[in-house]
């Protein structure tokens, strides 16, 4: 009788610990995913800033872009 109660108690404690451990793993995985997403956003912002700085610092960028990317009237 006492042995059965001890077994039930141990099963209950084990279930509780597994639940707590599962919640911990889920939260840590979510946090890791959020951190990775934040790193990607920061990298994208840095890249956008670098491109913007390159374009703004180049006085002849628009002329080169027009010459390279836009068809002239003769090519149409």
d(CA 20, CA 14): 10
Query: If pLDDT is split at 50, 70 and 90, which confidence band does 41 have?
Result: very high
pLDDT at 40: 96
What pLDDT score was predicted for residue 76? 57
Residue predicted with more confidence, 72 or 52: 52
Residue 18 backbone dihedrals phi, psi, to 5 degrees: -65, -40
- For the record, the structure tokens of 20 come out as 């707590």
- Average pLDDT of the chain is 86
For the cut 60, the answer to whether the pLDDT of residue 32 exceeds it is yes
Q: Tell me the whole-structure pTM to 2 decimals.
A: 0.51
* Domain ranges (residues) in the chain: 2-57
- Res. 75: pLDDT tops 80: no
């Amino acid at each position: 009788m006492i042995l059965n109660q001890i077994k039930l108690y141990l099963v209950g404690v084990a279930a509780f610990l597994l639940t707590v451990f599962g919640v911990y793993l889920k939260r840590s995985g979510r946090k890791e995913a959020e951190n990775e997403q934040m790193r990607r956003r920061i990298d994208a912002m840095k890249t956008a800033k670098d491109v913007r700085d390159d374009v703004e610092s180049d006085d002849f960028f628009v002329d080169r872009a027009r010459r390279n990317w836009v068809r002239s009237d003769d090519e149409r």
